Amino acid sequence: MQSDDKPVNGQHPNSPSFFDLIDQTPPPPVIDLEADPGTSRFARLCAAWDTSWKEGGFLHDRWEDLRQAPELGWHGMANWVKAAIGLAGICAVIILLDGATDVLAAAIHRLLTAVPRVQVSTDTSNGVFAVVDQPIRTYIAAHSASLPISASTVYTVWQVVGLFGLVGGFFRSSGARLTWTAFGASSIAMVYSAAPADGRTIATGLAVLAWTAASAFALRGLTLRPAFFTHIHNAAHQIEPHIHIPAPAAPPAEDTPDNVHPLQKR
């Protein structure tokens, strides 16, 4: 029998609605944890991943820290971002130093092997300088035979170190002054050891005088006098208000009653 109900909004009253169709959809399949543990583990990982990216999640908060770091600056950014940046900087410095060390070592090797071949054991100096220089050449030539570098290179390094100590000490560098002191002591010891026996005292004395004279430039401004520092505490002027009440003049004895006594200062 045909129904006489008129359609409402183009639909028959008895026709199924959209929500009725949704209710008729089959339920999602239930995952059996015992039958398929791999699928359940993957589902838990997906759920944890989605939860961590929601507001308040771990990954969401870390991403907000990274996003706000340029605006907050170094003092306002998160501590873990500072630690990551510092660790990355340290790693970069270590990598650069590792490469720079190899380059520097190769450059020093080329420099030392390219120095002029000085005839160390030959007396090429003259005058007073030869009294100090020749024993040093002889000592270096006698004690550098087993070294991997030549005696000429050792003599050149000795000169460079002395020049560094003299120039650096003139500019009041503490390290250069220590280098100059060690350079002078070692030079005097080499002169005393390699100088001829009959002139050893004179050669050593001239070496000491030469090093002392050069120390006037390398150790300029250095004094052995003790320094006294006087600290004056509360040296500024202090203003403290005081109220002074002058004592009243005593009236004549005949006008003073017996019960009145003058104000006395204590």
Q: The tokens 């550098």 sit on which residue?
A: 144
**Which amino acid is present at 108?**
I
Between helices 174-194 and 200-218, what is the axis angle to 10°? 170
Residue 260 pLDDT greater than 70, yes or no: no
Is the residue at 14 inside a domain? Answer: no
User: What is the C-alpha separation between 82 and 74, in angstroms, rounded?
Assistant: 7
User: What number is the average pLDDT over the span 249-253?
Assistant: 61
Domain count, the chain: 3
Query: In this structure, are 146 and 200 located in the same domain?
Result: yes
Question: Quick check: 73 pLDDT over 90?
Answer: no
Residue 66: inside a domain:
yes
Q: Has residue 207 got a pLDDT over 70?
A: yes
The model's pTM is 0.45
pLDDT reading at 185 higher than 90: yes
Question: In this structure, are 202 and 184 located in the same domain?
Answer: yes
The predicted model gives 235-264 an average pLDDT of 61
Cβ neighbors of 165 (< 8 A, separation 6 or more) are 176, 177, 179, 180, 181, 182, 183, 218
**Helix boundaries (H) for the chain:** 18-23, 37-52, 58-76, 79-113, 128-143, 151-170, 174-194, 200-218
Across 49-58, 130-139, 165-174, 191-200, least confident range: 49-58
Q: pLDDT digits over 42-67, tens only?
A: 888 888 888 888 887 888 888 888 88
The sign of the CA dihedral 18, 19, 20, 23 is positive
For residues 133 and 206, membership in a common domain is answered with: yes
Domain, as residue range, for 97: 78-114
pLDDT of 20 strictly over 60: no
Q: Do both 66 and 85 map to the same domain?
A: no
* CB of 162 closer than 8 Å to CB of 132: no
pLDDT at 70 over 90: no
Contact 137, 120 (CB under 8 A): yes
| Mean pLDDT value of segment 190-200 | 91
Mean pLDDT of the chain: 75
Tell whether 44 is covered by a domain.
yes
- Which of 218, 233, 250 corresponds to the end of one domain? 218
Q: How far apart are CA 210 and CA 13, in angstroms?
A: 122
